[in-house]
Structure 1
Amino acid sequence: MKKQTAILLLCVCALLTSCGETDSSQGKVTTAGQTSAVTEQASETQTEQPEETTAGQATESETETETETETTTTTAKATTTSKKTKKTTATQASTTTQETTTTQEVTTTTATAPPVTTTTTTAAVTTTAATTTAKATTTTSAMTTAKATTTTAAAEQTTKAPKKTTAAVTEAPKETTTTTTATKKKENPPAAVKAPGTVDFRVSTTSTKTKLSWKAVEGADGYVVWIKRSKDGKWERRKETTNTSCQLKEPRNKNYSFCVKAYRLDANGKKVYSEKAHASAFPYLYKENGVTYVDGIQIVNKTYSLPSDYGNGLTQTTLDAFYEMQRGAANDGISLWITSGFRSYAVQSSLYWSYVNRDGSQWSADQYSARPGHSEHQSGLAFDLNFAGTAFNGTREAQWIAGNCYKYGFIIRYPYGKESKTGYNYESWHCRYVGKELAKILTESGLTLEEYYGLSSRYS
C-alpha cells in the first residue's frame, strides 16, 4: 500500500512538473501572441491617433515598466511553483494568466500613444528576446508609418493653410481700398476769380511830372500803371500801387499814352487783371458833372460844351490872378480892367442870337461869338479886357498883355493866325486862365489848347 502510495506521489509529481513546464511555455506563447495582437492594435490606433500629451506618455511609461517587472516575477513564480502541488501550481497558473492578461491590458493602453509604445518595446527586451524583437519591429514600423502618415497629413494641412491665409490677406486690402475710395471726398476746384471792373482815371501833367488819379474799383487788390511813349511803341509797366493815385517823373508830352489796370489776387496769388484796361492817348479827356477836362484843364469850345446851369461868376483863382496882373501892368504904366467877365447860359444865348439876327446867319455869328453853352465866359475862367473889338488890336495894352499875361497864368485864347484851330477870329482882348506853368508852355510854343492837347473845335 505504501509502495502504491509512493508511486502515485511520484506520478503526481512528475505530472505536476510536466504541467508546470507546459504552463510556463504556454504563458510565453500567450505573451508573444498577445504582444503580436496588441502590436497590431497599436498600429491601428497609432494611425488614427497620432499624438498624445507628454505628461500622459510619461505616466503610461512608468505603468508599463511596473507591469514588465510583475511579468518577470510571475515567470519566476511559475518556475518555482512547478515543484509544488497541483493546487498551488493551478493557483499560480491562474495568477500568471491574470497577470499576463493585465500585461495585455496595459500594453493595449500603452499602444494608444505612439511615443509610449516605443518605451514599452525597449523595456520588453528584458523579458523575452524573440517576442521583443518582433514587437519592436512591428511597433517601430507602425510608428514610422503612422508618423509619416501624420506628418504628410500635417504637411498637407500646412500647405493648404497659407493659401487660405493668402486669400484672406489678398481680399482684405481690396475691401479696405474700396472703403477708402468710397469715403474719399472729391475736392472742388477753387472758384475762378472774376476780373475787376475798368479803371476810370485822369491824367494831369506838368513840365516836370505826370499825375494819374482814379476812382477805387470795387474788389480790386491793387493797380498797375502802364505807359506807351510813342504811337507805335510798346506798353511799359511803370508802377504798381494799392492807392487810387500815383505820380510819375515823366514830364508833359503829347506823344505819351497811359493805361491803368486793376487786378484781383486768386487763391494762388496770381493777378487777374481787369478785362478791359482803359488806355488813353495823351491827353486823356474825361467828364465830370457834364464838364470836360483834359490834363486837369477845363475845355470849352465848339466841340465841348457846358451844362446850361453851370457857373455863377468868375472863380476866385481867376480873380486873384487878374488882380496880380493888373498891378503888374500898372507898374509898367498900363491900365487894365475887365469889360466882360462871367456870362450865364441865358445871357450868352441872348447875345448870340442878337448877332445872328444882325448878321443874318449863324455862320457869320459863329466866327466871333459862341453859341449858348459853348462860351468860355460861362466857365468863370475867361474875360474880355478894356474894350472888346478889333480897335484894341495892336494897342500898347494889347501888346503888353500878349507879352506878359502868361506870367500870371493867362493866355490869349484866340491868337492871330490860329482861327482854323480855335474856330474863332483873333481876339487880343480875350484872356483865359490855365495856370502859370501851362500858360508859359503855350505862350513860348505858340500852340493853342486845341493844338497842344490834340483837340477839335467845331460844332457837330
Structure 2
Amino acid sequence: MSVKMNRKIKRALAFGAVAGAALGVLITFAAASKAVDKKAEAFAKTEKTLKKEKKALEEQVEKQKSIEAAATLSTKGTDDWELLLVNDNYPLDQKYEPELEEIAEGRSVDARIAEDTKKMLSDAKEAGLKMYVLSAYRNYEDQKTVFNETMGDWINQGSTYLDAYEETKKSVAIPGYSEHATGLAMDIVSEDYQDLDDKQADTKESKWLAENCYKYGFILRYPSDKSDITGIVYEPWHYRYVGKEAAKEIMEKNITLEEYLGVA
C-alpha cells in the first residue's frame, strides 16, 4: 500500500471518529432534551393540579365563610327576618319552614307578609290589572323538581348535562339556594301573558309592579343590569319582600338586596 493511500485511510478513520463522536453527542443531547421535556411536562401537570386543588380549597373556604355569614344574618334578630339573604353564596337551611298563609288559591307566603301581599294584589285589581301569582312559596323538594325539569328542557334541546346545568343555574336557583323557600318571594305575571321571558316586562301588570311594588315592601329582585351581582338573569316577574323602608331605598337607588346589605 502506498504512503499516499495510507494517509487517506488515516484521515477517513479520523473523520469517522470525529463524526461518530459528534453523533454521539447529538444523540445524548437529544435524549437529554427529551428527558428535560418530559420533566417539564410532568412539572406543568403537577403545577396545574396544585393550582386546581388550591382554587378548590379557596372556593371551599369562601363557601364556608358565606354559609357562616348567612347563618349570622338569618339569626341577627327578629327585626331583620325580611332581609334574609339567599343566593349562590348564602344557602338556606333545608329545614327552614316559615309559617305560611295562603294569598291566592294554591299559593302561600310567609304569614308575616300576607297582609301587604294581599293589599298589593287587591290594589292592582282595583286599578284594572289582572295579576296572576304563578309561584310563591316552594319547599326544597318543589325547587328540586323545577330545577330538574328546566335542566331536562335544555338537554332535550341538545345541551350536554354540564351545559344544561350551567344554563339552568342562570334562571332557576339550585335547591337550597332559592328565595322561594323563604316564603318571601313570588313570581307574578299578567293573567293574559304568562310566559317567563323579557316580554313579561312589557305587560301592564309588570309595569305597574315595577312602579308600585316598593309601597307594599317588595322589590324587583333580579333587575336587567345586575345579573353580575345577583347571579340570576333578568326576571321581570320575580318580586321579593324586604319591608317598606328597605324596598323604598333599594328601588330609589336602583340597587340590589346584596348591595343594600353590603355583601355585593
Q: What is the TM-score of this pair, normalised by structure 1? A: 0.35
Runs of 4+ residues over 4 Å off in structure 1 = 290-295
Instruction: Confirm or deny that 1:441 pairs with 2:249.
Output: yes
Instruction: Quote the offset at 1:329 in angstroms.
Output: 1.3
Give the equivalent residue in structure 2 for 1:389: 196
Given candidates 374, 395, 414, the residue that maps to 2:222 is 414
**Aligned in 2, Cα 1:412/1:347: closer, same or farther, shift over 3 Å?**
same
Give the equivalent residue in structure 2 for 1:376: 179
Q: Judge conservation of contact 1:342–1:380 (CA < 8 Å) in 2.
A: yes
Q: Distance in 2 between matches of 1:428 and 1:444?
A: 17
Following superposition of structure 1 onto structure 2, how do residues 250-289 of structure 1 map, counting pairs within 5 Å? 285=69, 287=71
Give the equivalent residue in structure 1 for 2:95: 309
**Aligned in 2, Cα 1:453/1:383: closer, same or farther, shift over 3 Å?**
same
Q: Distance in 2 between matches of 1:286 and 1:417?
A: 24
**Aligned in 2, Cα 1:414/1:388: closer, same or farther, shift over 3 Å?**
farther
Following superposition of structure 1 onto structure 2, how do residues 34-73 of structure 1 map, counting pairs within 5 Å? none
Q: Distance in 1 between matches of 2:117 and 2:128?
A: 16
Given candidates 335, 360, 366, the residue that maps to 2:169 is 366
SS at match of 1:421: helix
Q: Judge conservation of contact 1:339–1:388 (CA < 8 Å) in 2.
A: no
Q: Judge conservation of contact 2:120–2:216 (CA < 8 Å) in 1.
A: yes
Q: Distance in 2 between matches of 1:293 and 1:349?
A: 28
Q: Distance in 2 between matches of 1:388 and 1:318?
A: 26
SS at match of 1:431: strand
Give the equivalent residue in structure 1 for 2:146: 351
SS at match of 1:367: helix
Q: Distance in 2 between matches of 1:293 and 1:414?
A: 24
Q: Greater CA radius of gyration, 1 or 2?
A: 1
Structure that is richer in helix per residue? 2
SS at match of 1:384: strand
Instruction: Quote the offset at 1:347 in angstroms.
Output: 0.9
SS at match of 2:143: helix
Instruction: Confirm or deny that 1:403 pairs with 2:211.
Output: yes
Instruction: Quote the offset at 1:409 in angstroms.
Output: 0.4
Q: Judge conservation of contact 1:291–1:306 (CA < 8 Å) in 2.
A: no
| CA RMSD, 1 decimal | 2.3
CA distances 1:158-195 after superposition (whole Å, capped 9, x unpaired): xxxxxxxxxxxxxxxxxxxxxxxxxxxxxxxxxxxxxx
CA distances 1:27-69 after superposition (whole Å, capped 9, x unpaired): xxxxxxxxxxxxxxxxxxxxxxxxxxxxxxxxxxxxxxxxxxx
Sequence identity (%): 36
SS at match of 2:153: helix
Give the equivalent residue in structure 2 for 1:66: none
SS at match of 1:366: helix
Q: Distance in 2 between matches of 1:336 and 1:293?
A: 34
Q: Distance in 1 between matches of 2:226 and 2:70?
A: 25
CA distances 1:353-374 after superposition (whole Å, capped 9, x unpaired): 2222322321100110000011
- Unaligned 5+ segments in structure 1 are 1-284
SS at match of 1:389: coil
Q: Distance in 2 between matches of 1:300 and 1:388?
A: 25
Instruction: Quote the offset at 1:331 in angstroms.
Output: 2.7
Instruction: Quote the offset at 1:441 in angstroms.
Output: 0.1
Q: Distance in 2 between matches of 1:293 and 1:338?
A: 30
